[in-house]
Amino acid sequence: MPTPTEIPSLNPVPDPNSATFGADCYPFTQRMAAAGEAMNLLAAELNTALNLSLLGVTSSSTTSLTIGTGSKTLTVGTGLGYAVGMPLKIPSAANVANFMKGVVTAYNSGTGSLTVNVASIGGSGTFADWAVFFDIPDAGSGFVPIGGLVANKNRGNSFTENGTTYLKTGVISPTATYPLAPTTTINDGSTWLSKTGVAMINCNLASNGSGTVLGMPRANNDANYAISTDYGATWSTATFPAAISGIPVWCGSFFLIVNVNGGAASTTFYTSTTGATGSWTARTVPSNVFVNAVYGAQGCIITTSTTQGYLTTDGINYTSITMPAANLSGCFGNGFYVFLTPSSSTTTCYKTANGSTFVTKTLPVAVAGNGTWDRPITFGEGAFLWAQSSAVAKCFTTADFETFSINDTGIPLTNTYLRVFGNGTFLLINPFGSSTCYTSDNQGVTWTPRTFISSANFPAVAFTGTSFVALEYNSTNATQSVSGGTYTDTAKAMFADSPENTRPFYMRVA
């Protein structure tokens, strides 16, 4: 077999912020052109190889055979690629409606003798003008093993063909009622229920999106924290290995607790895959006064009260990075992180894709948060959003921090709101007490007032994967958003008995 064309390696993508950007572009484009030419050659080679491989199982035969099931032997070309178990279709060249389908049971490459166990047929008669080629397995080929799936026209809950039995996926028995496409409840912040939480002076929330939500004290050191394993419907008190105050972050496969230690320096973080009592492992980190953290594609970036930052992908090892400013809070989306100072009004933010190179961007309005623990900018449906401070009744959205869409919120100026996204909805909650929250399902163009659970202080809100939840300040009161409607879950409707489902899946069971 000839050696395939090798694709040359590429130069690193030039950094537009580098002083050598112009000099780096020419060799980069040269290597790109060479790679493009090599890829064209390789594509042609692959196409040739594919054609040869298909030709290796494509032949014809003049053996006279009568259409029927069972073992059939015919003479085809020699030196071909037929193999035992390969599914074949053998139609008459004169009329392809006359055919046999089965699997190879023997092939002699020296004589061209080919034996096929025919499982299904079409038409009838005796012919000597056969085409022989590879076939896509289906219920009639005899190739599908028990437990295998085939797509077929809708033939009810079950059918039997050529001695094999197939059951429609999702059906418990051939006489069972096939389920309709499932629906999913939309918890969009329109209605709120009273729940019993865990009392903490102040807390931050983090969810793994699969039911578990943690509430950690963020100001006063405490060995107790709040945990829910049912999306915020019920809460219980859990016990931490030590009295700490921390920022909880879900890092894709584990919870990370960034120990802010009441504003003092700390050297210990904690990780857990479940968040439960007794599941935490202490992790040693360089001594610093830690402030906040945000998880994204490159890992979790942790900020401090200085320009010292850290990046971790596993919660165990921490890489030192230099942040563009102190006391930063961040958000991740569209492949990059964005940071700003949440404890004061600012029109400056910092954008980075990797945590090592930051680009300063100017915001269209002065942005403010509620403190270093806050995350003033949130992300959802391809857009970053900020809205509503105590001084600015405006909202902006952006996909790249290059161009912005700005709208008036129509919300009275009172306090700086918390912002979170979930279920296609941006939610604003006044953390210092209001009986009204606000939702937007059109990326902040308009905001709808919603009746909130009470006018008490709810300094923490999160989206759990199905609903919004919030815990009240220094109280056992909690709240959870409930249904604003339902939608058909088309991602799970593949096997549903619906008008669109003309080719359901069937599993061979016997």
State whether residue 275 is helix, strand or coil.
Answer: coil
* Beta strands, E only, 229-307: 236-244, 246-250, 255-259, 266-272, 281-288, 290-296, 299-304
Please say whether the beta carbons of 305 and 266 come within 8 A.
no
pLDDT recorded at residue 408: 92
- Give yes or no for a contact between 215 and 226, defined as CB atoms under 8 angstroms apart: yes
Is the Cα dihedral 364, 366, 372, 374 positive or negative? negative
Mean pLDDT within 116-141: 81
In this prediction, residue 495 has a pLDDT band, given cuts at 50, 70 and 90, of very low
DSSP 257: E
Q: What is the pTM of this model?
A: 0.61
> In sequence order, which residues have a C-beta less than 8 Å from that of residue 331 and are 6 or more positions away?
294, 337, 338, 375, 377, 378, 379, 384
* CA dist 336 → 138, 296, 310, 362, 498 (Å): 45, 8, 16, 16, 40
Sheet holding 130-134, edge to edge: 59-61, 130-134, 87-91, 99-107, 113-122, 70-75
Question: Which of 314, 311, 234 has the alpha carbon at shortest distance from 281?
Answer: 314
Distance, CA of 224 to CA of 471 (rounded, Å): 15
pLDDT of the residue at 407: 92
From 365, 314, 316, 374, select the one nearest 343 (Cα to Cα): 374
pLDDT one-digit tens code per residue, 340-356: 998 888 999 999 999 99
H or E element in which residue 448 lies: strand 448-451
Both tokens assigned to 119: 């499982």
Sign of the torsion angle spanned by Cα atoms 343, 346, 352, 355: negative
Q: What are phi and psi of 466, to 5 degrees?
A: -130, -25
Give the E-state strand segments of 77-182 in sequence order.
Answer: 87-91, 99-107, 113-122, 126-127, 130-134, 149-151, 158-161, 164-168
3-state secondary structure of 214: strand
**CA nearest neighbour of 139 among 168, 169, 164:** 164
Q: Is 370 helix (H, G, I), strand (E, B) or coil?
A: coil
For 275-292, the pLDDT digits (tens) are: 999 999 999 999 999 999
Answer whether residue 487 shows pLDDT above 60.
Answer: no
Domains of the chain: 1-55 (no CATH), 59-143 (2.40.30), 149-179+489-510 (no CATH), 185-488 (2.130.10.10)
Please tell me the predicted confidence (pLDDT) of residue 254: 96
Of the candidates 217, 180, 177, the one whose C-alpha atom is nearest the C-alpha of residue 200 is 217
* pLDDT computed for residue 490 by the predictor: 40
d(Cα 302, Cα 310) in Å, to the nearest integer? 5
81-95, 381-395, 475-489: which has the minimum mean pLDDT? 475-489
- Confidence class of residue 172 from pLDDT cuts 50, 70 and 90? very low
DSSP output for 385-432? EEE--SS--EEEEESSSSS-EEEE----SSSPPEEEEETTEEEEE-TT
CA distance 232 to 224: 17
What are residue 496's phi and psi, to 5 degrees? -75, 150
Distance of CA 116 to the CA centre of its chain: 45
Query: Is 172 within 8 Å of 161 (Cβ atoms)?
Result: no
**Cα gap 314→463, rounded to integer Å:** 23
Sign of the torsion angle spanned by Cα atoms 241, 246, 248, 251: negative
Higher pLDDT, 233 or 158: 233
- Res 128 pLDDT > 90: yes
| Those residues with Cβ within 8 angstroms of residue 456's Cβ, 6 or more apart along the chain or in another chain | 433, 472, 473, 475, 477
Calpha distance 477→454 (Å, rounded):
10
CA distances from 107 to 64, 111, 257 (A): 18, 9, 64
Least confident residue range of 51-60, 189-198, 312-321, 410-419? 51-60
Residue 50 has pLDDT above 60, yes or no: no
Q: Using CB atoms within 10 A of its CB, is residue 84 exposed (0-12), middle (13-18) or buried (19+)?
A: exposed
Torsion of Cα atoms, 128 then 129 then 133 then 138, to 10°: -70
Considering the chain, what is the average pLDDT of its residues? Answer: 83
Separation between Cα atoms, residue 201 and residue 218, nearest integer Å: 8
Per-residue pLDDT at 152:
63
